[in-house]
Every structure is written in C-alpha cells, then in structure tokens.
C-alpha cells in the first residue's frame, strides 16, 4: 500500500500496522537493509514491514535475501551498546580483511553472532567510539566529532584490530597534545625549591619573576634584563656576570647573593636586604651599578670592591663595614648613609653627596 511517511519511525510502524492489519515492529528497504531512522527513507523507496521475522524478498520464493545472494554487500544492522548502525558486509570486511570485524561478518554466522529482537547483531562496545571506526571503514578518513576522546577511539581500534586506523589515531593524539614547554620560566616553576637548578646563560628578558622563591639558583651569565624581580627571594643566588640592566628588584631578598661583574645598570634595588644573619657577605665586586637606585637598602658588610656606582642613589643605605675600595662613587647620593667602618680606600667620590651621614668619614680612610 502507498502511505505518507512522516513523523518518527514509531509513527510509520503505527500507520503500517493499521493499514496492513499486523503488529509491525521492523521496517526494511528493498535490499533488506533494516531502517532504524526515518531520515534514511528516500521518496522512491519501497519499504517492507514485518512483525520481527528476518527480511524475505517477496520476489524470491520466500527464501531469505541473504541465502539467495550470498553476497558480502548484504545490508545488516549492528546493535553496538544499544545504538543501531546500518552498514554492509563489504564495509566491515574489505578495508581491513584481517580485523576482528571482518572475521565476525565475513561468513554468515561464522562466529555465531547473537541478534536482538530486531535482527541486529549485538556488539557489547561503546557506540560513541565505534562510530568513527565504522566511518573510517566506509571512506578511509579519520573523522572524530568534537568532545570524543581519541584515546577511547584508539582503544576500540586496537580491540577490533583496525591496524591502519591505529597509526592515524596515534599521530592525531600526539598532534593534539600541547607542545612540551621548555621555556626558562617553566623550568623555574616546575623545579622543587630544594632542587639545584642551573640557569646559566638562559634568557629571561622582560619576564615577571616577582615574589618567586629563587634561592640558590645559578643565574650565571643569564639575561635578566628588564625583569620584574620585586620581592623575589634571591638568597645565595648566583648572578655572576648576569645582565640585570633595567630590572626591578625592589624589596628583594639578596642575602649572600653573588653578583660579581654583573651588569645592573639603571636597575632599581630600593629597600633590598643584603644582610645575612649567618654572616655570609653579599658579593658585588666589579659589578656595573651605574645609575641604580638602592635607596634604603640594608648592605652591612657588602663587598662593592671596584664596582661602578656612578650616579647611583644610595640615600639612607646601611653600608656599615662595607668594602668600597676602588669603587667609583662619582656623583653618588650617599646622604643619610651609615658608613661606619666602611673601607673607602682608593674610591672615587668626586661629586658625591655625603650630607647628613649617620657616621662621619674617618681621616684615616683614603679617598680620591
């Protein structure tokens, strides 16, 4: 009979039941393919309905369609984890003839495949991960919808023995993972505090390293120019020959720091603490500190021998017992500094400001 096809598959089965006087449960197309979605029906299709028995071609003397053709392109339906997939034997067999799926459906009932009440072959696997595998067998392309875990699809491909797909999936998974970050900052953040971390010669230029725990780290010859190191803990760090030009180290902990021959020209070191209670002296011998702002820093016993502090601001610094021998202090602002027992022998104090010193210079100290 000719009927209008509309609504859902259940609506069609209801109409067919009324028209034909049967209890229709299954719909097949003219080739014996089980219809599980009304969207699969075309305008010119001739449909066959039944009460659950296997499809029988009415033009083939009552013999089942599969028995007549013996063809590997016979349509069949799979029930994978409760979800129905309609495909052909050739799809499951031809592309991967050595796979489990090929062996399951190469010969009719070779594996004794179980079928549900609708005649669909039961496969107890995840339908979500099976769909990309079936599509790959259809057209040879790996297409996975958003939100589908590729690892799940890979596991299914291994289970079914789809070898060519396994390689595609492994490459896709590798490409989907973020590149391993070998940046200097990542190394700093990923290394435990107690572990030795060597960062010689690494480039941190312009990085924000403020408030980080950077104790004992070896920054020898590293590029730390224009870095933000405010409030960082650089206790006993090795900054020998490092480039700190233009960096901000305000209120940083620099107890026992090694900054021999480092370049900190134009840097800001206001309110820094160089004093180590254990007596370990901060060593800035030969450092380039031109134009630095070290106002209010605690530098008891610091070694600034032959360092260059031209035009630096050292106002209200504690330089008690500091070694300033041979230091270039030209045009420095040393007002309010505590220079008691400081060694200024051979230092250049031309144009330096010493007003309001907490402790006057001793005549025995040799200055230029």
Within-domain flag for 183: no
Within-domain flag for 17: yes
A 10 A CB-CB count for 194 gives 7
Q: pLDDT of 300-324, one tens digit each?
A: 999 999 999 999 999 999 999 999 9
Q: pLDDT of 246-276, one tens digit each?
A: 999 999 999 999 999 999 999 999 999 998 8
Distance CA 327, CA 214 (A): 28
| Same domain assignment for residues 99 and 151 | yes
Within-domain flag for 69: no
| Same domain assignment for residues 116 and 28 | no
Give the per-residue pLDDT at 65. Answer: 43
Within-domain flag for 157: yes
Mean pLDDT of the chain, nearest integer: 83
pLDDT at residue 120 above 50? Answer: yes
Within-domain flag for 86: yes
As for how many domains the chain has, the answer is: 3
Within-domain flag for 260: yes
Q: Which of 112, 145, 176 delimits the end of a domain?
A: 176
| Same domain assignment for residues 151 and 15 | no
Sheet holding 83-88, edge to edge: 83-88, 75-80, 121-123
Q: Find the domain containing 136 and state its range.
A: 75-176
| Same domain assignment for residues 20 and 165 | no
**pTM over the 0.85 mark:** no
| Same domain assignment for residues 213 and 356 | yes
Give the per-residue pLDDT at 363. Answer: 35
CATH number at residue 119: 3.30.710.10
Distance CA 335, CA 304 (A): 18
| Same domain assignment for residues 144 and 223 | no
Within-domain flag for 57: no
| Same domain assignment for residues 103 and 156 | yes
Give the per-residue pLDDT at 356. Answer: 56
CATH number at residue 305: 2.160.20.80
Q: pLDDT of 330-344, one tens digit each?
A: 999 999 999 999 999
| Same domain assignment for residues 159 and 294 | no
pLDDT at residue 359 above 90? Answer: no
Bridge partners, residue 318, by sequence: 298, 338
Q: pLDDT of 38-89, one tens digit each?
A: 877 877 778 888 887 777 666 554 444 444 344 444 788 999 999 999 998 8
| Same domain assignment for residues 136 and 215 | no
| Same domain assignment for residues 232 and 167 | no
Q: Could you give the residue ranges of the DSSP H alpha helices within 161-195?
A: 163-176, 184-190
| Same domain assignment for residues 219 and 296 | yes
């Amino acid at each position: 009979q000719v009927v209008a096809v509309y609504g859902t598959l259940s609506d069609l089965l209801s109409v067919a039941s009324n028209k034909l006087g049967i209890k229709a449960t299954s719909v097949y197309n003219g080739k014996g393919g089980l219809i599980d979605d009304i969207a699969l029906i075309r305008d010119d299709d001739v449909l066959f309905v039944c009460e659950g028995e296997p499809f029988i071609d009415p033009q083939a003397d009552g013999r089942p369609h599969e028995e007549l053709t013996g063809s590997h392109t016979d349509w069949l339906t799979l029930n994978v984890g409760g979800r129905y997939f309609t495909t052909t034997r050739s799809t499951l067999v031809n592309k991967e003839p050595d796979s489990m799926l090929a062996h399951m459906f190469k010969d009719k009932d070779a594996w004794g495949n179980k079928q549900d009440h609708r005649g669909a072959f039961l496969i107890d696997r995840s339908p979500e991960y099976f769909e990309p595998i079936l599509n790959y067998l259809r057209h040879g392309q790996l297409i996975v919808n958003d939100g589908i875990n590729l690892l799940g699809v890979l596991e299914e491909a291994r289970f079914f023995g789809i070898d060519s797909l396994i390689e595609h999936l492994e490459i896709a998974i590798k490409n989907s993972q973020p590149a391993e970050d070998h940046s200097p900052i990542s190394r700093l953040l990923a290394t435990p505090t107690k572990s030795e971390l060597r960062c010689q010669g690494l480039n941190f230029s312009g990085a924000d390293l403020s408030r980080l725990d950077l104790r004992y780290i070896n920054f020898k010859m590293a590029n730390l120019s224009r870095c933000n190191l405010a409030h960082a803990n650089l206790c006993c760090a090795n900054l020998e020959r490092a480039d700190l030009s233009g960096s901000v180290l305000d209120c940083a902990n620099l107890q026992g720091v090694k900054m021999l021959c480092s370049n900190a020209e134009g840097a800001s070191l206001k309110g820094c603490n160089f004093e180590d209670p254990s007596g370990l002296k901060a060593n800035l011998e030969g450092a380039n500190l031109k134009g630095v702002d070290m106002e209010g820093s605690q530098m008891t016993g610091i070694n600034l021998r032959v360092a260059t502090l031209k035009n630096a601001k050292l106002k209200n610094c504690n330089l008690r017992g500091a070694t300033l021998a041979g230091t270039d202090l030209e045009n420095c602002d040393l007002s309010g500094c505590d220079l008691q027992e400081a060694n200024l022998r051979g230092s250049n104090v031309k144009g330096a400001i010493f007003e309001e010193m907490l402790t006057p210079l001793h005549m025995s100290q040799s200055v230029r």
